[in-house]
Chain A
Amino acid sequence: MGQASLRTDELYQGTLARSANIPVLSPAGRAGRAHGARAGLWPRLMSHRGGRLGLIIVLAYVAVAVAAPVLAPHPPGAVNLAGRLTPPAIGTGNLLGTDQLGRDILSRIMHGARVSMLVGLATVSISAAVGVGLGMVAGYYGGALGRVLARFTELLLAFPYLIFVIGAMSVMGPGFWNLVWALSFKGWVEFYRLSRALVMSEKNREYVEAARVLGRSDSVICVREILPNIVSSILVLGTLRMGNMIVMESSLSFLGLGIPPRMPAWGSMINDGRRYMLTSPWVATFPGLALALLVLGMNLLGEGLRDVLDPKMMEG
């Protein structure tokens, strides 16, 4: 496959970066960023309109998630069959209505924020850890490992993902962490490709040479020198992937493979409500809106981080 597939790879990584609005920075820019004194990431993010809004949204979600037991008017699992499918109304105690088991949708959305964000965070963290680790090794050393991984990632991309997840969930059985593993199984590929490409262009930079001349070991160079220089791109990809993972969870719920039902998760809530769309559209709509707003926040934050971390924005 040689050259040709390498090209797809490179273009893929470029596309990836672009679709995620990740700066594939000019090398000089990146090197400059690592070593130039640049104070005030925080103020700069706060002065970035989209980034600020995104951060506020995300922090608000985190706050709601953490304070859910205090904020939520009802326990999220309180089944009340007599009061099922109550429409949203002010003053009834169910501001956003109730679902097919009479549970308060607002409370479930609040508690669901924990589960859904945890799904996103856990899958992205695992994917990023595996992907960046392998990507750095493959990018730094290349060679046989790189070739094996290249074939393996190709295999993963060519294998229909849903089929894999259905299979994996059948093998492992239902469960929160099983779902996270199944989602991470392919999620790492993007992180792998991005970090491999970044490391490949980074490893010939002067500062890496300098570290080598100083006799630093490879692992120290990777972790102490290269990683800080690529971490921002990875961070941005991570924020952008989180929303995707939460949506993925809902698709798996559609196939009956989602989060265990007593855990309120937005994806499962949307899927539950799907059956009642004709008669009680609020059941699916509110969790959908909650999800959309979080994804919007995440993307704005990711984009803000990109802009703030992009040295091109510093000039002019």
Chain B
Amino acid sequence: MRLSRLQVKLIERIAATIPLTLAVALAAFVLMRAIPGDPVDIMMGEGASSSGEEVAALRTQLGLDEPIYRQLSGYLKGLLRGDLGYSIIRSRPVAEMIWEALPATIELAVYAMLFALALGIPVGVVSALKHNTAFDRVSTAVSFVGVSLPAFWLGIVGILVFSMTLGWMPTSGRIPYGLEPRHITGFLTLDALLTGNMPALGSALRHLCLPAVTLGLGVAAVVARVTRSSMLDVLGSDYVLFARAKGVPEPAVTIRHALRNAMIPTVTLVGLQFGSLLGGNMIVETIFGWPGLGRVVVDAIFARDYPVVQASVMVYALTFVMVNLITDLLYTVLDPKIALQ
């Protein structure tokens, strides 16, 4: 009974993403047509003169001289068939480009999030346990500063310190040629693990370090603050007092009784932040030469490569929705009240 209700809800949620995704696709379409600039013109680049007819012919060929509503209906029809279209500038299927770039972006976001959690949660918990002590004040101040430093600045400083001065980390890229694990999922660390390729794993992790930390530091600061405040709430709650009254040892009180309940707001935050990590990492990808979707999409915007932008925006939106869905599922695990309501 309970499972089936959950299933129904899941199906409901997944079905509900369809109109949202379509709306996002539509918004991307409108935005792209509204911004000035012309893909054909960009495609023709500089150099020798191209005649007006040539440009016009290319526009016709790409269907760019059709009325907007026709272009839109063509685009939507393509979507319904599962066809994301063809990149104007790169003359290859958009789906292929996205499929190639998405694992890099997701892997980076996942590691950035892991870093943020690994740093933010313990700091938040300790700050809460040592409320109003020097540790609490310093970590709070540091987290404020962490939030207020732009990622591109952090990235360059990281390269300056850890790559150039200390030589610990490579400056950019995902993995050197020759070390790549066999392609299974596209996530290098996962592939390396699956194939038992330890050198590849080590190298991939080393390459991930700087970009993931750059991207995750701001999130870590926010996670620390949220964890701290929800931990403070929970530590003052009756059930924590009751657990102590039962004689539960302090570490178990902190972890089993307090942290578990304090994680609920953190999970919400993680869901939201993960979305923004995915959608906001273009700058970090550019700095670290990370071959991810962010660079593809920024490139495509500046080149007015309509199909690529439209499809990427949809992918972002879908990922965002999916992450939200997973977050909600996670609540049902963390908070039994939600499962049955």
Contact = CB atoms under 8 A, between A and B. Distances in A.
Nearest to A152: B23
Interface stretch (A1-9, A130-138, A205-213): A1-9
Interface in B315-337: 316-317, 320-321, 324, 327-328, 331
Contacts of B320: 157-158
A291 interface: yes
B148 interface: yes
Given A8-B328, A158-B20, A247-B148, A171 B153 contact: no
Interface string B264-307: 11001100100110011011000000000000011001100000
A158 B26 CA distance: 13
A274 B152 contact: yes
B145 A292 contact: yes
A166 B152 contact: no
A88 B328 CA distance: 52
Interface stretch (A14-22, A69-77, A91-99): A14-22
B297 A254 contact: no
B311 interface: no
Contacts of A294: 148
Contacts of B317: 158-160
A159 B27 contact: yes
A288 interface: yes
Interface string B1-44: 00000000100110010001001100110011011110000000
A157 B145 contact: no
A163 interface: yes
B37 A170 contact: yes
Interface string A285-308: 000100110111001100000000
Contacts of B226: 15, 18-19
B152 A271 contact: yes
B84 interface: no
A294 B276 CA distance: 24
Given A171-B35, A278-B160, A19 B145 contact: no
A161 B268 contact: no
Nearest to A158: B317
A38 B24 CA distance: 48
Interface residues of B, number: 62
Contacts of B37: 170
A155 interface: yes
Contact of A267 (B150, B265, B302): B150
A249 B298 CA distance: 17
Nearest to B317: A158
Contacts of A157: 275, 320
Contacts of B321: 158
Interface of B: 9, 12-13, 16, 20, 23-24, 27-28, 31-32, 34-37, 141, 144-145, 147-153, 156-157, 160, 164, 222, 225-226, 229-230, 264-265, 268-269, 272, 275-276, 279-280, 282-283, 297-298, 301-302, 309, 312-313, 316-317, 320-321, 324, 327-328, 331, 338, 341
Given A12-B272, A284-B153, 4 more contacts: A7-B338, A11-B331, A12-B268, A251-B283
Interface of A: 1-5, 7-8, 11-12, 14-15, 18-19, 21, 151, 154-155, 157-164, 166-168, 170-171, 243-244, 246-247, 250-251, 254-255, 267, 270-271, 274, 277-278, 281, 284, 288, 291-292, 294-296, 299-300
15 contacts: A3-B341, A4-B12, A8-B324, A11-B268, A15-B272, A19-B265, A19-B269, A157-B275, A159-B313, A160-B297, A171-B35, A243-B148, A278-B160, A292-B148, A296-B145
